[in-house]
Structure 1
Amino acid sequence: MHNVLRTVNGLDNINTFDLSNAVLIKRNNNYYINITAYKNKLNTETNQILSFDLGIKNQLTLSSGLQLKYSIEKTKKEKRIQRILSKKVKGSNNYRKLKVKLNKEHDKTKNRRTDTRNKIVHYLTSNYNIIITQNDSISGWQRIFGKRIESTDIGGIIEALKHKASTLILLYRFIPTTKECSKCHNKYDIKLNERIYKCSKCGLISDRDYNSTLNDIYYGTKTHKFKKLKVPVEYREFKPDRDNASTLKGFNVSPYVSASFVSETGSLNVLT
């Protein structure tokens, strides 16, 4: 019997885990080992609350004031192979060989997107144990925005949080958090191309996505699920992270993700 696998990369990352099983997988003429391992869950019950807003321009805006932006497009190599494949005779040897190469490139792009999504989810669940967001219809977004949604896999973030977050509170998707002022809760029909929310009643000026996250906090803390948690009063009043420099310095989720604060991206006074 030939030795198919001479070395296995990545095993050094699971030294502290309890191994359950391993399955050898062949995909696109490559071999992989799918390992299931378990690790004792650390006690992270800090009652730290976070909400986030998903978007097209900025993929995530957090109630801490942090905005995450990323997009992982198909590589030039993948597009080139796809163009060449479209000119080949379907079922021919050259077609099959190119199809294998294309599938490998597809997998690489998919893995980069999945890895980025998982690292974002890990950041959220490691620092906050109560996470609030709206249950947006990402599939509906994809029908409108197409590749801009596909290249970010933002829909997978909520799905992953359902399994990994200590407490995930999903709000009804039709609550008008974008239209509502987070300070006085007055509402007005803000247009899609307006990036700054300006309240005509109380004078609040805010990044529209950040304003939406604060409304998520407002409505999330009124839900029955939140009240059952019996969060101490001192944790219920949300305060944004004011130490922007140290937060950005310590933020290193993925090379594909750029991070900034709403005070740097259009908001005038929400963090002051």
Structure 2
Amino acid sequence: MIKISCVIITYNEEKNIQQCLESILKVADEVILVDSYSQDKTVALAQNMGARIFYKKFMGFGDQKAFAVEQASYDWIISIDADEILSEELTASILAIKNNPQADGYYINILTNYCGKWIKHCGWYPKHKLRLLNKNKGHINRNKVHEGFEMNNAPHSLAHLDGDLLHHSYNTISEHSRKIQLYTELAAKHYAENGISISLLKIIFGPRWTFFYHYIIRKGFLDGYWGYVLCKNISYESFIKYTKIRLYARQYKKTGVVA
């Protein structure tokens, strides 16, 4: 039977961390929690539940997760966020493969709750992400935002697990707005530092296409009122990101730094 290390990064997650750990400890043999110096009870709650705690100044999601993986005792790693819990079906799927894994990495489906509504369309479901793998066969990329596992170039096999990872990240519109500002800031700086800019035409028409794609093509209208709100916010996020990329790219070209 394989043993699994779970890696989680946190900052002020006291409202989520207990439920998250109760869920993941059904399948994980250890929990590695890397905290960015939370100001609440996150660390105390996690310690009481047996998590191994490490501290690291936040320099981007990828760096935090990669550091967490480096602390893991076991080869098999599952990566989750503090606002995610395993469905019963997913728990059973992971327990089953612990006895005899048939692949080097496993995709897990993410089901997101948006302001109380489970989103089944909008391009958000099904959303398969590589979240469980043998670290000898893959690694965490170091993207500042939207980090994730990637397999190495060596031969490997992949499979999908049944069940959903239940994501409770967006409880209010205000919470989503704060995350839009954080994610777009990190993404824009990353693109600018890599010499990527955005045209004015993309800033004008890109968000319109984004809304059409998520609301019409990916059938966001089937998720009702909250589907519409979500698709508008996805469109707004693209507008903010493109605008910041253009701003920071010009700044980087002139000064060599992004403030």
Assess same fold via TM > 0.5: no
- More relative contact order, 1 or 2 (CA 8 Å, 6+ apart): 1
Per residue, is there more strand in 1 or in 2? 2
TM, length-normalised to structure 2: 0.24
Q: Please, what TM-score do these two structures have when normalized by structure 1? A: 0.23
